[in-house]
Amino acid sequence: MDYQAIKLTVRNSVGVITLNRPDMMNALNTQMRAEITHAVKAVEKDARVLVLTGAGPAFCSGQDLGAGGNAASMDLERTLRDEYVPMLKAIFDCRVPTISAVNGAAVGAGANLALAADVVIASEDAYFMQAFTRIGLIPDAGGTYWLPRQMGAAKAMGAALFADKISAKQADEWGMIYESAPADTFRDHVQNRAAQLAQGPTVAYRQLKTAIRGSFENSLDDQLALEAKLQGRCGTTRDFQEGVVAFLEKRKAVFEGR
């Protein structure tokens, strides 16, 4: 696929999708959503970690309200169902760990696109905003799913109702994201984090995501059973064999991701 609205690179087992409409603050249009969906599915075959970030000063300003004419006449249900859902599911279901590297403003659907990743790392000069009520809408693009799970119902409700800017530092303190990093070292920090995951036990990461996500719906007995099942799978991998040998030999494990 010839990408126009994004850039895709794969280097040293790290795939990077860069939203590439900087003149529009990387606003999401139909083309960008389709390209992100395609790129995620393509890159997970060749990479062991996926990074999603933005070109220019913004991460993503959300839906491009100027795309396709009058925004007020958009069929929002169709757009969400046919364009947003495949994109968000591709990220959520990605077979390798995913990192949102939030380099700047993440607003509306752009904020919730970031939250679809397994780990969110934000530059300290970035911010998040659930801007939907400012135009008479509710949070979408997964916002009503991820926000209460990651920051609690009280903070999620306030963030959605007031549509306040939430600084990267606040988001970090509230548990909305994993961490924030100084702006001047942000890119290097993300690169180091991605390299760490790219060198890790890929199969174990996959089972780990399944286990943590399952815990929200499972009873203790069900979760213990799921842990046992998934751990059994991990125990058959070459990475487990290597991990044990490396531990006994007092050296760093060299994982192959299988």
pLDDT, one tens digit per residue, over 91-148 is 999 999 999 999 999 999 999 999 999 999 999 999 999 999 999 999 999 999 999 9
DSSP one-letter string for 53-111: EESTT-SB--B-TTTTS-GGG--HHHHIIIIIHHHHHHHHT-SS-EEEEE-S-EETHHH
**68 or 145, which is more confident:** 145
* pLDDT of 73 over the 80 cut: no
**pLDDT tens-digit readout, 141-169:** 999 999 999 999 999 999 999 999 999 99
- H helices present in the chain, as ranges: 30-43, 76-79, 85-92, 109-115, 143-151, 153-162, 168-174, 186-198, 202-214, 220-234, 238-248
Q: How many CB atoms lie within 10 A of CB 64?
A: 21
End-to-end CA distance of the chain: 28
DSSP H/E element including 52: strand 49-54
Residue 101 CB contacts under 8 Å (≥ 6 apart), including other chains: 51, 52, 53, 121, 186, 187, 190
Q: What is the amino acid identity at position 192?
A: N
pTM for the model stands at 0.94
The full set of domains in the chain, from first to last, is 6-198 (3.90.226.10), 202-248 (1.10.12)
Alpha-carbon Rg of the chain, whole angstroms? 19
Q: Give the strand pairing for 6-11 and 14-19.
A: antiparallel
